[in-house]
Amino acid sequence: MKQLAKRANIIKPSATVALTTRAKLLKKEGKDIIIMAAGEPDFDTPDYIKEYAIDAIQKGFTKYTPAEGTVELRMAIAEKLKRDNNLEYDWKDIVVSNGAKQAIANTLMVIIDEGDEVIIPSPYWVTYTSLVELVGGKPVIVKTKIENEFKLTPEELEKHITPKTKAIILNSPSNPTGSVYTLEELKALGEIIEKHDLFVISDEIYEKIIYDGYKHISIASISDKLKENTIIINGVSKSHAMTGWRVGFSASNSEIAKKIAALQSQLSHHTASISQKAAEIAFLKNDGSVEKMRKEFEKRRDKIVEMLSNIEGIKFNIPHGAFYVFPDVSYFYRKRYKNWYIKNSLDLSEFLLEKVGLAAVSGIAFGEDSCIRFSYATNIDNIIEGINRFKKALEMLL
């Protein structure tokens, strides 16, 4: 066999997806596993959305749609951007894709050339670095500090900008840290971004999952120049518990939107017609279920924070959004239990899975080896049991 493309060696399987799949398999085999790995709401898609989609199937809405998505859905998204984010987009500048993940991949393919640098604040969502590498770009990882709630400061940003810097990826609320940037913080970053004329890929997928009175701000709403250079990424996966439907979108300037549409017309053409119908009603109608789920996530966040606060040796920032908490567990590195020796976050993740049946993703997957990520997108009983197991495992190592 001839050699595969270099590209095939660059791409690694998503660590979050891999661990979740492995844990689910163990559970299926009858093992007692608490899964706090999955970044996916455990709620079902609200009924009004499902009913609308069923109706669309029955009416035969089963054919190809435009590559960019249906006009109705793109109009519904334009309305959402105005209503929720105070942003005026022509519906033609919105491209619907197979999840926010494809929207990010599309964007990178359109804006990044071989050797271009893309600034990625760390900890970051696993997929960013892989996709940047896949398109030939160079991820420039900027380490942030737990003391700053893992948020990038303007100084940290400016220090890493070079003539090759093309773009920055921002994610607020953040996976894995749960941090939320305030208006002032975004303005300060925005000044540097404008000065250096960078593109911003603003991943706002956790917009609706936000606590403590924090308000989600899109950096594109800060100035006309930032709007021109920002590609907003969002979707229904997390807000409406619709991960499996695969609907995300990008909103950008017209030139970028046209290129993304052309690219997608060659790649996947479009996301499923029925899923587009479902997303359309999700954006148009509000039956209170998004807020109901948010409230439930907040209760779970309170519980997990309360439980983690009672564990010695770890430190963490209080997540104000998303459904993850990312404690620093490095105190337990270089500790032993029987034939186990914990060197890093991968070892600890393995130890948790093997010894106490708890699946949590190693921090190194997100570029921060001192931490481990728990998803609390699972019911309170699982959270209580999961964190009790975590405590028990750490005590074994003391």
Among ligand PMP, ligand GLU, none, partner that 72 touches (CB below 5 to 8 angstroms by kind): none
**Residue-by-residue DSSP string for 292-330:** HHHHHHHHHHHHHHHHHHTSTT-B-PPP-BTTEE--B-G
- Largest separation between any pair of C-alpha atoms in the chain: 62
Q: Does 14 bind ligand GLU (CB under 6 A)?
A: yes
Binding mask 58-97 for ligand PMP (x = CB under 6 A): ----------------------------------------
- Residue 171 makes CB contacts below 8 A (sequence gap 6+) with 124, 125, 202, 203, 205, 206
Q: Does 101 bind ligand PMP (CB under 6 A)?
A: yes
Question: Residues 74, 77, 79, CA angle at the centre, nearest 5°?
Answer: 115
**Residue-by-residue DSSP string for 198-213:** -EEEEE-TTTT-B-TT
Q: Which of 78, 103, 126, 394 binds ligand GLU (CB under 6 A)?
A: 126
> With respect to ligand PMP, which residue has the nearer C-beta, 106 or 289?
106
Number of residues that bind ligand PMP (CB under 6 A): 13
Q: Does 177 bind ligand GLU (CB under 6 A)?
A: no
> With respect to ligand PMP, which residue has the nearer C-beta, 357 or 363?
363
Q: Which of residues 33-92 bind ligand GLU (CB under 6 A)?
A: 38-40
Binding mask 210-249 for ligand PMP (x = CB under 6 A): -------------------------x-x-----x----x-
- Give the Cα separation of 324 and 304 in Å (integer): 10
Does residue 163 have a cis peptide bond before it, meaning omega lies within 30 degrees of 0? no
Q: How far is the CB of 35 from ligand PMP (least distance, A)?
A: 15
Q: Does 107 bind ligand GLU (CB under 6 A)?
A: no
Q: Which of 37, 111, 193, 205 binds ligand PMP (CB under 6 A)?
A: 205
Q: Which of residues 164-183 bind ligand PMP (CB under 6 A)?
A: 171, 175
Question: Residues 179, 201, 177, CA angle at the centre, nearest 5°?
Answer: 15
The neighbour count for residue 377, using CB atoms within 10 Å, is: 27
- Give the Cα separation of 126 and 315 in Å (integer): 22
Q: Does 363 bind ligand GLU (CB under 6 A)?
A: no
Q: How far is the CB of 103 from ligand PMP (least distance, A)?
A: 8
Q: Does 16 bind ligand GLU (CB under 6 A)?
A: yes
Q: How far apart are the first and last CA of the chain?
A: 51
Q: Is residue 221 within 8 Å of residue 87, measured between CB atoms?
A: yes
Q: Does 325 bind ligand GLU (CB under 6 A)?
A: no
Pairing of strands 34-35, 358-359: parallel
Number of residues that bind ligand GLU (CB under 6 A): 10
Q: Is residue 160 within 8 Å of residue 152, measured between CB atoms?
A: no
Q: Does 99 bind ligand PMP (CB under 6 A)?
A: yes
Q: Please, is 216 exposed, middle or buried when counting C-beta atoms within 10 Å of its C-beta (0-12, 13-18, 19+)?
A: middle
Q: How far is the CB of 205 from ligand GLU (least distance, A)?
A: 8
Q: Is residue 64 within 8 Å of residue 270, measured between CB atoms?
A: yes
Among ligand PMP, ligand GLU, none, partner that 251 touches (CB below 5 to 8 angstroms by kind): none
Among ligand GLU, ligand PMP, none, partner that 100 touches (CB below 5 to 8 angstroms by kind): ligand PMP
- Which tokens is 258 given? 């046209």
Q: Which of residues 102-141 bind ligand PMP (CB under 6 A)?
A: 125
Residue found by looking up tokens 């660059």 in the block = 10
- Give the Cα separation of 39 and 56 in Å (integer): 29
Q: Which window, 10-18, 213-221, 223-231, 384-392, contacts ligand GLU (CB under 6 A)?
A: 10-18
Among ligand PMP, ligand GLU, none, partner that 14 touches (CB below 5 to 8 angstroms by kind): ligand GLU
> With respect to ligand GLU, which residue has the nearer C-beta, 22 or 160?
22
Q: Does 207 bind ligand PMP (CB under 6 A)?
A: no
Looking at the DSSP bridge assignments, the partners of residue 372 are: 362
Q: Which of 106, 144, 175, 276 binds ligand GLU (CB under 6 A)?
A: 175
**Residues in touch with ligand PMP (CB under 6 A):** 39, 99-101, 125, 171, 175, 203, 205, 235, 237, 243, 248
**Residues in touch with ligand GLU (CB under 6 A):** 14, 16-17, 38-40, 125-127, 175
